[in-house]
Amino acid sequence: MTTSATMAPKSFEILYLDPQTVHFARQGDTLTLTLADGARYPRVILRSCFPVSDNTTFLSVRDAEDEDNAEIGVIEDWGQLAPADREAVAAELGLHYFVPEITQVFSIREELGFLYWKVQTSKGDKEFVMRNSIIHYAREIAPGHWLLIDVNEARYEILDFNALDAHSQKLITEFLYL
């Protein structure tokens, strides 16, 4: 058994990855990374660092095989990647940061600590499930502008609560405790 006194401390140094020497590839729904030294990561995840609104700079590359999703490194400007690598990265980010707008709420049902939503979004009708922990999974970004996060970490936006129909507003008020 390892105690915290004998565990090696984690480093908080940022390792910058050179976009000219890394290679990303998609294999099905999986993004892989190969470094210049030949090290290969069979599954990586990408997260935009702040500012999130600038989607080309400071991209954190993390090892999806590691339980803690340990950071492999940061790419300062992924726009400098080779075209095929940029395409793979753009596809991965598009999956994670795809955020449809909720335009109407048909129903919300609470069951065993989960909220089951049936909604119309900017991308069509959708059903999703989110934990009934409003503090962690529903955030008011600005007055009337909400971000909802489902159990799969997919995100949905309500851009303007007041622009929704009365039925949608009533359901949201009831279940998000507005």
Confidence at residue 101, expressed as pLDDT on a 0 to 100 scale:
93
- Measured over the CA atoms of residue 28, residue 20, residue 49 and residue 161, the dihedral's sign is negative
Based on the fold, state whether residues 122 and 169 are members of the same structural domain: yes
Cα–Cα distance, 40 to 37 (Å, whole number): 9
Show the tokens assigned to 88: 């793979």
Based on the fold, state whether residues 35 and 89 are members of the same structural domain: yes
Task: State the pTM of this model.
Answer: 0.56
Based on the fold, state whether residues 32 and 54 are members of the same structural domain: yes
Q: Tell me if 47 is assigned to some domain.
A: yes
Cα–Cα distance, 160 to 109 (Å, whole number): 22
Cα–Cα distance, 170 to 178 (Å, whole number): 10
Based on the fold, state whether residues 79 and 112 are members of the same structural domain: no
69 is in which domain, residue-wise? Answer: 23-96
Q: Tell me if 2 is assigned to some domain.
A: no
Final residue of a domain: which of 96, 114, 130? Answer: 96
Based on the fold, state whether residues 92 and 125 are members of the same structural domain: no
Confidence at residue 58, expressed as pLDDT on a 0 to 100 scale:
87
What are the backbone dihedrals phi and psi of residue 96, each rounded to the nearest 5 degrees, phi first? -75, -40
What are the backbone dihedrals phi and psi of residue 161, each rounded to the nearest 5 degrees, phi first? -50, -40
Based on the fold, state whether residues 76 and 122 are members of the same structural domain: no
Q: Tell me if 10 is assigned to some domain.
A: no
Reported as a single tens digit per residue, the pLDDT across 22-73 is 999 998 878 999 999 999 999 998 888 865 555 667 899 999 888 888 899 9
Final residue of a domain: which of 96, 126, 157? Answer: 96
Confidence at residue 167, expressed as pLDDT on a 0 to 100 scale:
97
Q: Are 171 and 178 in contact (CB under 8 A)?
A: no
Q: Which of 68-72, 96-100, 158-162 has the highest mean pLDDT?
A: 158-162
Number of domains in the chain: 2
Cα–Cα distance, 63 to 84 (Å, whole number): 20
Q: Tell me if 15 is assigned to some domain.
A: no
Q: Tell me if 138 is assigned to some domain.
A: yes
For residue 76, is pLDDT > 60?
yes
Beta strand spans in the chain (E): 23-27, 30-34, 40-41, 44-48, 57-63, 71-77, 102-111, 114-121, 124-131, 138-142, 145-149, 155-158
Q: Tell me if 167 is assigned to some domain.
A: yes
Q: Tell me if 49 is assigned to some domain.
A: yes
Based on the fold, state whether residues 70 and 106 are members of the same structural domain: no
- Give Dmax over CA atoms of the chain in angstroms: 59
Q: What is the distance, to the nearest Å, from the Cα of residue 150 to the centroid of all Cα atoms in its chain?
A: 11
